Homo-oligomer: A and B are copies of this chain.
Amino acid sequence: MVPQLDSYFKEVDGLQDKFIERLREAVAIPSISSEDERRPDVIKMGEWLASQIRALGGTVELRQLGKQPGREHLELPPCLLGRYGDDPKKRNVLIYGHYDVQPAQLSDGWATDPFALSIDDKGRMYGRGSTDDKGPVLGWLNAIEAHQKAGIELPVNLIMCFEGMEENGSEGLDDTIRAEAKRFFKDTDVVCISDNYWLGTEKPCLTYGVRGCNYYSVEVSGPGQDLHSGVYGGVSHEPMTDLIRIMNSFVDPDGTILVKGISDLVAPLTDDEAALYPPIAFTMQDLYQSLGSEVAIHEKKEDALMHKMRYPSISLHGIEGAFYTPGAKTVIPAKVIGKFSIRTVPNMEIHEVTKIIQKHVEEEWAKLKSKNTMKFNIVHSGKWWVEDPKHWNYTAAAKAVERVFGVKPDMTREGGSIPVTLTFQEELGKNVLLLPMGSSTDAAHSINEKLDKRNYIEGTKLLGAYLHYLAEEPTK
């Protein structure tokens, strides 16, 4: 099947130096969306990307999003809405990516200039944005170019949505998706996002879900001002003592959630789903390496994977208002705010989760019989996202992986949230696939971010191959 892929692959190999130069140019633009003074570079990056797409024959609108809410001295970077191909007989794939990057400077500990692509003898291409997410975005452009060189028509139409604020809250994106759901995006058949990572370094994966996150705070106050613990210790109710008791009530050291009613909301594990975990190319050694130590709760990889992907967890993040610097301070803080969050999974209804947690906090508070005052706050909440991994969007991608890499992909879910997946799912009502290019060692968001040449070049083949399998996959 899909015999024309061979000549496409050959052209990708032949063009690899050009593709690396394309990535080098992109990395050189420091499009850091969270730094005011870099905002012009983000906008420049959007324009550079638009000109690359236009040069390949695509059409592009740089949709202006106005001022940044709350920071009105800043213009939001545009959302790039593009098309390549508009054959009504072809399927339409919406591809999403982002052209902004995390902050980076040499003094953070980078071995090389983060904005000058540097390739070592193992083919590791270091540079900010190399893997997150300039490499994957350019992968789509490379695929178009290699098709042109091979004289093969793209078998689907591409609808592009590339934003410039992903690393800064995706400001303006949801509104754009909502506004264009029945307009620019209306013909979309499936969505493909290349903006996450393989679980390891050898085996590609398809990602069909992410956990949600409800983030809460508990504020305890009492004294009119911070007190001296010598003068008032034993005399006053202390907000810290009360808060620590509340924070202690959520989770056991082995991760067991102690809030009654939460585990009842979790979808039972079916045999079908259980069968997805054992083949995943992941070992406890991989986990220890990424944790930087052997403090994993579970002994078996399947348990670790399921607790990352399909079970909820509660983490205690910190306390605002208490003493936090090195040294000693004999203070009784007057007001302290504990921060914690729960990662949610199917079928937890996230407002139901909040109700249960709030009730738990109020019951625990009542037990304290404290004269202090407690306030429960919802800081933010975002739903989990899960797709049917047997949808033809996934089977097409799985075939492409097998064709390019010779293995069946791991079927994975992410522990962390990728909110745009849910927005596309809810606003377009179409199947969404996460098809990563980079590997687990790429250090996105860290110093020395990199993308392996193999991942970039074979990843470009993968994206192109996916389009072909997508074009011919039965929708059954």
Q: Is the CB of A318 within 8 A of B296?
A: no
> B residues within 8 A CB of A253?
237-238, 241-242, 245, 368-370
Closest chain-B Cβ to A103's Cβ sits at a distance in Å of 15
Bound state CA distance, A141 and B430, in angstroms?
87
Copies per assembly:
2
A416 at the B interface (CB under 8 A): yes
Bound state CA distance, A298 and B253, in angstroms?
34
Q: Is the CB of B297 within 8 A of A240?
A: no
Bound state CA distance, A428 and B244, in angstroms?
44
Interface residues of A in 393-431 (CB under 8 A from B): 414-417
Segment with Cβ contacts to B, from A25-33, A172-180, A309-317: A309-317
Q: Is the CB of B233 within 8 A of A295?
A: no
Known: A253-B241, A293-B222. A312 touches B229 (CB 8 A): no
Segment with Cβ contacts to B, from A8-16, A129-137, A153-161, A327-335: A327-335
> B residues within 8 A CB of A324?
318-320, 322, 324
Q: Is the CB of B414 within 8 A of A230?
A: yes
> B residues within 8 A CB of A326?
320
Known: A248-B244, A322-B318. A294 touches B371 (CB 8 A): yes
Known: A228-B416, A330-B315. A297 touches B341 (CB 8 A): no
Q: Is the CB of B235 within 8 A of A298?
A: yes
A236 at the B interface (CB under 8 A): yes
Q: Is the CB of A231 within 8 A of B415?
A: yes
Most buried by B among A234, A244, A296, A330: A234
Closest chain-B Cβ to A457's Cβ sits at a distance in Å of 27
Q: Is the CB of A330 within 8 A of B213?
A: yes
Apart from A222-B293, A238-B253, A245-B248, list 15 A-B contacts with CB within 8 A.
Answer: A222-B291, A223-B293, A223-B295, A224-B293, A230-B414, A231-B308, A235-B298, A237-B297, A240-B318, A253-B368, A253-B369, A317-B329, A317-B331, A327-B379, A328-B341
For the complex of A and B, 8 pairs with smallest distance between CB atoms: A224-B292, A230-B416, A234-B313, A318-B323, A318-B322, A233-B313, A222-B295, A234-B307
A-B contact pairs, 21 of them (CB 8 A): A223-B292, A223-B293, A232-B308, A234-B415, A235-B255, A235-B313, A237-B253, A237-B295, A240-B315, A244-B244, A244-B248, A248-B248, A253-B369, A294-B371, A317-B328, A317-B329, A317-B331, A318-B323, A320-B323, A322-B324, A328-B379
